[in-house]
């Protein structure tokens, strides 16, 4: 029998009543209710609590003992603190207990623990640290989000392949292990999302105070650490890891470059699609009337000759297409570099009117015989 099998003298419905009372009493905080033999374990989220941890622990234990005598409380902050001290006793106690109620935290921690063990078995001494995104343990994880972990691999003695090849190979191995954990447990509802960092890359990013690296170091919790991750984490908490002036300047410049790049892409994509969205129906109307589809720069004059003179389209209609084509060219030639959202919105509004006019024109034009 496994540790999660019911093996004591109490009836299952007894545990159901206990579980329901605990959930009712701690409705806003209870992440899980577990049973380890005859002992009841309540996992409580205290991340938002303003009360001192010891005082809160004592208060909760007192309330629990009023529901069931043989009981203990595990605070999420205690799990975090223990993991930082390389102590996983509470975590393992939860993982190996029988689950009576779980918002997802026990199942997620169990799956990550299994994945961590598989990674260590496969990659042995090369794993520097296996860390878990803090939101899971703190109870802040979105039920629809992935279970994020970060694995730092020592690549300092790699000589037979490039860093890129090594990173790709390691990522494939670690993701395959994650998919294996998922497929072996139908109760796991969220996807395991491991991310691989080579030690050399992580160190370079850390020296530059890369925001992603700093956030990871600040918020993540080690499920395995050879001593480097927590040392860095402590240095960060001490204020000893600081960005250089060069790094600050680089990120400032990169931000401006990325903004301009995004701005240019937005302009190009929006006007390209808007222009073609007006041009293609225009060419269709010309073909419907027996003409040949003109090049974009000739479309306005052809429409004017074929339909404005006959009052099938108005000059205002033609001007809408003309403005869209000219704006597209200005963007292509770099004459327009910034998005004017008011102007773009007006062009879309006019474009909608133009398409209505084109559809109406179709009904007024008698199709030429083939």
pLDDT band with cut points at 50, 70 and 90 for residue 145: low
**Per-residue confidence band for 12, with pLDDT thresholds at 50, 70 and 90:** low
User: Residues 343-348: contacts with CB within 8 Å, 24+ apart?
Assistant: 344/270, 347/274, 347/320, 347/323, 348/274
Pair (220, 296) in one structural domain: no
- For residue 73, the model assigns a pLDDT of 93
More confident residue, 299 or 366: 299
Say if 370 falls within a structural domain.
no
Give the end of a domain, one of 243, 275, 303: 243
Segment 64-115, tens digit of pLDDT:
999 998 999 999 889 999 999 999 999 999 999 999 998 888 888 899 999 9
Q: Are 112 and 147 in contact (CB under 8 A)?
A: yes
216 contacts: CB under 8 Å, gap ≥ 6: 131, 150
Q: Tell me how far CA of residue 235 lies from CA of 14, 127, 208, 238, 242, in angstroms.
A: 49, 21, 15, 5, 10
Strand partners of residue 33: 42, 101
Q: Round to whole Å and give the CA distance between 30 and 323.
A: 61
- Which ranges constitute the DSSP H helices of 68-190? 76-84, 89-95, 105-123, 134-138, 163-183
Say if CB 36 and CB 97 are below 8 A apart: yes
pLDDT tens digits, one per residue of 208-233: 888 888 888 888 999 999 999 999 99
Cα angle 349-352-353, degrees, rounded to a multiple of 5: 95
- Please give the structure tokens belonging to residue 368: 């030429």
Task: Give domain status of residue 369, yes or no.
Answer: no
* pLDDT at 248 exceeding the cut of 80: no
Compute the mean pLDDT over every residue in the chain, rounded to the nearest whole number: 86
Q: How confident is the model at residue 313 (pLDDT cuts 50, 70, 90)?
A: very high
pLDDT at 2 over 50: no
- pLDDT the model gives residue 202: 93
Q: Are 256 and 232 members of one domain?
A: no
Give 67's DSSP letter: H
CATH number at residue 288: 1.20.120.330
Same domain for 193 and 316, yes or no, is no
The predicted-structure confidence for 126-142, as pLDDT tens digits, reads as follows: 999 999 986 665 555 55
Domain membership flag for residue 305: yes
Identify the CATH number of the domain in which residue 64 sits: 3.30.70
Q: Which of 60, 77, 102 is the last residue of a domain?
A: 102
Measure Cα distances from 312 to 285, 298, 316 in Å: 11, 19, 12
pLDDT digits (tens, 9 = 90+) for 268-281: 888 899 999 999 99
pLDDT at 242: 81
Q: What is the mean pLDDT of residues 310-334?
A: 90
Task: Tell me, yes or no, whether 94 and 116 share the same domain.
Answer: no
Residue 153: pLDDT over 90: yes
Report the pLDDT value the prediction gives residue 138, as an integer from 0 to 100: 56
Structural domain for 78, as ranges: 1-102
Q: What is the pLDDT of residue 1?
A: 35
Q: Which of 165, 232, 225 is nearest to 203 (CA)?
A: 232
* Number of folded domains that form the chain: 3
32: in domain: yes
- Give 171-184 pLDDT, tens digit per residue: 999 999 999 998 88
* Tokens encoding 350: 């006019």
Residues 85 and 11 in one domain: yes
DSSP codes, 107-138: HHHHHHHHHHHHHHHHHGGGEEEEEE-HHHHH
Domain endpoint, select from 207, 222, 243? 243
Cα 125 → chain centroid: 30
């Amino acid at each position: 029998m496994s540790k999660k099998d019911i093996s004591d003298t109490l009836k299952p419905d007894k545990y159901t009543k206990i579980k329901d009372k605990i959930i009712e009493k701690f409705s806003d905080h209870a992440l899980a209710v577990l049973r380890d033999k005859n002992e009841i374990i309540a996992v409580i989220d205290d991340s938002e609590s303003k009360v001192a941890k010891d005082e809160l622990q004592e208060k909760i234990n007192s309330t629990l003992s009023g529901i069931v005598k043989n009981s203990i409380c595990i605070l999420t902050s205690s799990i975090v603190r223990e993991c930082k001290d390389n102590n996983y006793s509470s975590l393992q106690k939860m993982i190996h207990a029988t689950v009576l109620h779980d918002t997802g935290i026990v199942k997620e921690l169990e799956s990550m623990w299994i994945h961590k063990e598989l990674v260590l078995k496969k990659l042995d001494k090369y794993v520097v640290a296996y860390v878990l995104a803090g939101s899971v343990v703190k109870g802040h994880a979105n039920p629809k989000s992935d279970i994020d972990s970060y694995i730092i691999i020592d690549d300092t003695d790699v000589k037979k392949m490039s860093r890129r090849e090594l990173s790709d190979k390691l990522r494939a191995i670690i993701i395959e292990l994650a998919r294996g954990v998922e497929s072996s447990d139908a109760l796991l509802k969220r996807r395991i999302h491991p991310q691989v960092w080579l030690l050399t890359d992580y160190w370079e990013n850390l020296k530059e105070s890369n925001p992603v690296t700093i956030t990871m170091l600040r918020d993540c919790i080690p499920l395995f650490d050879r001593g480097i991750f927590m040392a860095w984490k402590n240095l960060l908490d001490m204020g000893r890891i600081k960005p250089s002036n060069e790094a600050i300047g680089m990120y400032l410049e990169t931000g401006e470059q990325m903004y301009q790049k995004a701005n240019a892409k937005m302009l190009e994509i929006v006007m390209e699609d808007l222009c073609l969205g007006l041009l293609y129906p225009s060419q269709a109307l010309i073909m419907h009337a027996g003409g040949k589809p003109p090049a974009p720069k000739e479309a306005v004059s052809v429409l004017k000759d074929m339909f404005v003179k006959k009052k099938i389209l108005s000059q205002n209609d033609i001007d809408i297409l003309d403005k869209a084509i000219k704006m597209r060219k200005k963007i292509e030639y770099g004459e327009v570099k910034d998005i004017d959202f008011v102007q773009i919105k007006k062009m879309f509004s006019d474009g909608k009117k133009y398409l209505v006019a084109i559809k109406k024109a179709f009904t007024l034009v008698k199709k030429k015989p083939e």
